[in-house]
Amino acid sequence: MNCFIFIIIAVMCVNMSGCIFNKKSEKASADQQPLVINLEGGDWGYPTPYGHYQRGPGIFKMQLLFDSLLQRGEEGLIPWLAEQWEVSSDGKEYIFTLREDVKWHDGQNLTAEDVKFSFSYFAVHPPVFDKLQEGKGNLVAAIEVVDEHTVKIVVETA
């Protein structure tokens, strides 16, 4: 959690540094070369939530493009694609009820089958290798479609 907070603060500091007013920049000479900043990364093809580096800036870019069942807010988890969720007493089963007003770009409704597909695809195509996750494998043991707007996810350990 501390690492996550540090990353957020570092990103905010970098962003805020670009907001400083500098009168001299208005009178920059024509012979000055533009500043070029290269960010780590490369052309990984079409952006996908399955191909980013979990601990790098990719996660923030993906959150701008792809939604998740829940988001993290200042007060904890908040509903996003799921309007409500339940956690079993042993912490191994999660039941998510999806919002019924969520649509794909083609107008089709988001369904529990779509969520199951995403988790199943992720299990077969994990993100870029992360040494901190080495040997941990897929934490999801099973995914069950309860009905069109309800999905149950069972994890290996709580």
Residue 81 to residue 92: CA distance in whole angstroms: 21
Token representation of residue 102: 């969520």
- The whole-model pTM stands at 0.64
Give me the pLDDT at residue 34, please.
85
Query: Can you tell me the mean pLDDT for 12-25?
Result: 53
Report the distance separating Cα 145 and Cα 153, nearest Å.
9
Distances (CA, A) of 57 to 4, 24, 84, 87, 137: 11, 32, 29, 30, 22
Asked whether the predicted pLDDT for residue 8 surpasses 70, the reply is no
CA quadruple 68, 74, 77, 79: dihedral sign: negative
CA-to-CA separations, 63 to 41, 58, 71, 111, 137, in angstroms, rounded: 17, 9, 9, 20, 23
pLDDT tens sequence across 93-146: 999 999 999 999 899 999 999 999 998 888 877 665 555 555 566 688 999 999
pLDDT at 63: 73
Residue type, position 73, single letter: G
Distance of CA 131 to the CA centre of its chain: 19
CATH 3.40.50.1820 fits 45-155, yes or no: no
Q: 101 is written with which tokens?
A: 């007003």
| Residue 94: predicted pLDDT | 97
Report how far residue 99's alpha carbon sits from residue 109's, in angstroms, rounded to the nearest whole number: 10
Q: Is 81 left (phi over 0), alpha (psi -120 to 50) or beta?
A: alpha
pLDDT score, position 106: 94
For 33-90, write each residue's pLDDT tens digit: 888 766 555 555 556 666 655 555 566 667 777 889 999 999 999 999 999 999 999 9
Tokens of 13: 């500091």
Nearest-CA neighbor of 138 among 158, 117, 151, 122? 122
